[in-house]
Amino acid sequence: MASVRNLLVFRQLFHKETSTYTYLLACKQTMKAVLIDPVLDCVERDLKLLRELGVQLVYGINTHVHADHITGTGKLKQALPDCKSVLGSKSGGRADIFVDQSERLKFGNLMLECRSTPGHTNGCTTFVLHDRAMAFTGDALLVRGCGRTDFQQGSPSTLYESVHSQILSLPKHYKLYPAHDYKGFSVTTVEEELAHNTRLTKSKEEFIKIMDNLNLPYPKRIDESLPANLICGVTDPVSS
């Protein structure tokens, strides 16, 4: 039997317009796959890749209700009716499966641990693949940064606690994969972020000041993205 280390098919995919990463993870023994943070504009690309790799999508996972792009999960479910959508239980959006702290999502012989990491939004969830020392942090932690906290239930204090207790407390060698990058990075580690994260290496008080003064413009597509993502990116009322 293959060791768990060799069980994973892994692809990091990118949507240039919104600088969003989508992750494909699949179990080589069973060919069951998950997509983390699929983007509506990229669904055809993702379906083609799933077909080419011969894997079966069992979960379309959203780390949170995104504000900058529309999720591809609803459209993927229409194309692949066995696929279930997954969202953190405190997200306020629609999904087939709601996950909470410490719950596990199995795909084939691999397992993701769900860690609740609110602060960017209430429902933000980080998914940890312990077998491969990888964590998918959504917008809670970005390489050398973090998600903004100025809309959707954002709270710098909550985000600081979440990231330190649920992400930067993982073993130092764990690789961290964000939902976005705006500076040319693709991956980091717990060790690197503990040393070099420009916001989260500060005290909580300093972090709150930094976050309260980011003055970022709102995402260009926020008005269409938020309502669409609350219903899984589709306007068909029976889809979730």
Two tokens, residue 36: 């983390």
User: Please, what is the minimum distance in Å from the beta carbon of residue 67 to ligand L3IBWBLD?
Assistant: 4
User: Please, what is the minimum distance in Å from the beta carbon of residue 142 to ligand L3IBWBLD?
Assistant: 6
Choice from 13, 25, 86, 139 touching ligand L3IBWBLD (CB under 6 A): 139
Choice from 147, 156, 178, 233 touching ligand L3IBWBLD (CB under 6 A): 147
138 binds ligand L3IBWBLD (CB under 6 A): no
3-state secondary structure of 134: strand
Q: Yes or no: say if 28 and 9 are a contact pair by the CB < 8 Å rule.
A: yes
180 binds ligand L3IBWBLD (CB under 6 A): yes
- Pick from 144, 138, 85: which is nearest to 116 by CA? 138
- Largest interatomic CA distance in the chain: 53
Two tokens, residue 236: 């068909």
Give the Cα separation of 60 and 83 in Å (integer): 7
Q: Yes or no: say if 209 and 50 are a contact pair by the CB < 8 Å rule.
A: no
User: Please, what is the minimum distance in Å from the beta carbon of residue 111 to ligand L3IBWBLD?
Assistant: 28
Nearer to ligand L3IBWBLD, 92 or 219 (CB): 219
For ligand L3IBWBLD, how many residues bind (rule: CB under 6 A)? 13
Nearer to ligand L3IBWBLD, 57 or 61 (CB): 61
Runs of H (alpha helix) within the chain: 43-53, 73-79, 156-162, 190-196, 204-212, 222-230
145 binds ligand L3IBWBLD (CB under 6 A): yes
Q: Rule CB under 6 A: which residues touch ligand L3IBWBLD?
A: 18, 67-68, 139, 145, 147-148, 180, 182, 216, 219-221
